[in-house]
């Protein structure tokens, strides 16, 4: 928790929160992965200190592939030493790869993932970047695959009160994109109150 707070404080724009996701939120984000049958291919984007990663690791079986993409080198080092190394030492036959990169830049196989789980703080980004990242993640899914992401409940409304007109326009553009994707990808939404702050998990299914 202190490690997360310290890195988050120095990288507020890309981390977007001071608390890692609660066990309830982490489990809800990983729900599509828990439901998916092995052998499966899973991608996690923006794991931070790894509360969702832990839930995903528990579901892996022989033949599964799990790619993790994290921008921050500090979070990657932390994740490797505290979570992935101990997990590998247990001798699991699943293939887990950590990429220290931005999701919009990393090379991964398009159309190949059953599930993408995303922890990025979209409301902190320019809407053009959110669009690029959303389309990239959907491109990586196989048809019928699922993308799960979250946003803090009521965050756009609260943020709007402290932003200038340009900032409010940006949030409105993000909202429009999320609504369009919700409609075109059979979207579902679920509120998770047991998190600081409360959050909403959104799931999109690639047609």
Q: Answer whether 48's CB lies under 8 Å from 78's CB.
A: no
- Dihedral sign for Cα atoms in the order 123, 127, 128, 134: positive
Which residue in 42, 47, 83, 201 binds ligand SAM (CB under 6 A)?
Answer: 47
CA distance 54 to 8: 20
| Contacting range for ligand SAM; rule: CB under 6 A; set: 79-87, 99-107, 135-143, 198-206 | 99-107
Rg, C-alpha atoms of the chain? 16
21 binds ligand SAM (CB under 6 A): yes
71 binds ligand SAM (CB under 6 A): yes
Cβ-based nearer residue to ligand SAM, 39 or 139: 139
Which residue in 41, 78, 94, 121 binds ligand SAM (CB under 6 A)?
Answer: 121
Cβ-based nearer residue to ligand SAM, 1 or 183: 1
Task: Find tokens 């994707």 and name the residue.
Answer: 181
84 binds ligand SAM (CB under 6 A): no
Structure tokens at 78: 């932390």
Least distance to ligand SAM, CB of residue 93, Å: 25
Least distance to ligand SAM, CB of residue 14, Å: 4
Q: Where are the beta strands (DSSP E) in the chain?
A: 41-45, 65-70, 95-100, 113-118, 141-152, 188-192, 199-205
Q: Answer whether 147's CB lies under 8 Å from 138's CB.
A: yes
Secondary structure letter of residue 197 according to DSSP? S
Which residue in 52, 57, 79, 204 binds ligand SAM (CB under 6 A)?
Answer: 52
Q: Which residues bind ligand SAM (CB under 6 A)?
A: 14-17, 20-21, 45-48, 51-52, 69-72, 75, 102-104, 119-121
């Amino acid at each position: 928790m202190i490690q997360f707070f310290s890195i988050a404080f120095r990288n507020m724009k890309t981390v977007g929160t001071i608390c890692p996701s609660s066990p309830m939120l982490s489990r809800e984000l990983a729900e599509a992965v828990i439901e998916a049958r092995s052998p499966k291919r899973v991608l996690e984007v923006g794991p931070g200190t790894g509360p969702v990663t832990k839930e995903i690791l528990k579901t892996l079986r022989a033949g599964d592939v799990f790619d993790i993409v994290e921008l921050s080198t500090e979070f990657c080092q932390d994740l490797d030493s505290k979570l992935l190394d101990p997990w590998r030492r247990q001798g699991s036959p699943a293939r887990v790869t950590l990429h220290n990169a931005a999701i919009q830049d990393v090379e991964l196989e398009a159309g190949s993932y059953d599930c993408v789980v995303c922890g990025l703080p979209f409301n902190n980004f320019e809407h053009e970047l959110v669009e690029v990242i959303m389309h990239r993640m959907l491109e990586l899914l196989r048809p019928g695959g699922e993308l799960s992401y979250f946003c803090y409940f009521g965050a756009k409304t609260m943020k709007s009160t402290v932003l200038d007109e340009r900032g409010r326009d940006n949030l409105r553009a993000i909202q429009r994109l999320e609504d369009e994707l919700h409609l075109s990808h059979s979207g579902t939404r679920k509120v998770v109150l047991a998190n600081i702050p409360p959050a909403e998990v959104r799931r999109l299914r690639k047609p």
